[in-house]
Structure 1
């Protein structure tokens, strides 16, 4: 299959349509605006519907409605917009509805700026809305991986009846790379016999809701969700590792930051320093198992992010005190540079930290 040079936001839209998405509800915000623009042009060509809602709050509740009817549906936004959608995401998770949510992250807090950042890690992985719930969270590092994960996200959402988030910093949305649209691995997806498609006189009406007045009923529901999340942890963890067996230092990074880190690792290796990498592809479920592969000779773990250190909590939980964990990051839309990362690696390797 021939590769096509595409901008990230447009590649995401093309991947969603290829995966069978027929409905998109959203509201414009930089740096993801090319995605709804693409969907507004291309969805009607395949019999789908694009609708620019009056707000992010309205958009996510439209997603709730379309998902409840069994449709493949998505929305996208950037950081402040995702914050506005959190109540609706909690409702969707509570009602066990499948959908895909794309977040092209910009610097914050508040309106912040329009440059790339990774400061939505907490918002994405901790459940930014109310209650005990989770969403599957993918963090691609290249446009090809973005396309692959967007297509898989729709199947994962349907398989587990769960919202799936695809989180990319602003560079993922704005840069151009060649991509090809490959078929995702086949999954045995369950029928959507829970959807509110009308009874046609053949069954009782389906009711979709996240409200439970009886506290025991609600507890049973939440505990059942927890069992589902355990299955997801068993089956859907994704990560990349490099050179963990004899690394002096192991770096943990995700998304486009991991590409900068790989350049830093190459510079270290040219100087004879062994450096490993753990790249989480699923931010939730977090790849705890990858940290079990770290060598006894490793002197420390360096977490590198475009934030003030949000992923470091999960890294510390995963390493469970076996190694010291350090942090280096840039924030506000600034991107870490390889030489600065190399300097931090050398400090750890030399015992200076």
Structure 2
């Protein structure tokens, strides 16, 4: 199958800033713009505001500056539009866009997917179980959830998370040698796909000081340490579990393995702020999303900044051979 050099962009929550920053990105990128996946009725206003023509996406059609090739999912109608509001129908539409994009990437040969900002509140209000994109992408691609992870990229850091949207108690219960090793493999492959040959990985300890030989807990002796040994036996260059504060000062690491949400999110968000990009790794379909929310308070005002979305789109933009 021939593969389109284009990316797919979902608008995220259609009542937030997603449609606006999608059209701003299309306007800025010109002939390198992605194919947008969303609802025409949510995009007509922003498209007109930024001088963009909406047309139906067709396989093999060449991109044009000032034109947005659109996959109209039809999840919403014009009379349902409630810009700036948290609504269950918008949450359901958000997931419908992601599902459509994954199907297109798998069947139509697109290079990858970038998702606009979503609202977990709106998705849950629609009665949809949702713990971020990694579990959803795993489900849609038929990949085991234990092989799909979130990587944040920003501020010079590439940070994969072994566990994500769980309480600390649940994270500790879920951590295992197999899971940590699977996250390490996914991070290694992702860094290679992003142009880093033979990457060196840094593994954060589970406990402070990586447990300091059991003084602060046994988990690094029984879980993260054996996982590092297993990965090295497979030819992956990775450090022993080390305190996150120490490892983050090591410029020799190409990517880091965080054990839980805040351990990885805080340094990236501190350095990159809203320009951080979230990448789902391990599922075989490159899937990135912005690291900020839908900003309902400014939706529809024309003041949203597309920088984070443009950064996410640049992650998997194919380079000339």
TM-score when normalising by structure 1: 0.29
Higher relative contact order (CA 8 A, sep 6+): 2
The TM-score, its normalising length taken from structure 2, stands at: 0.31
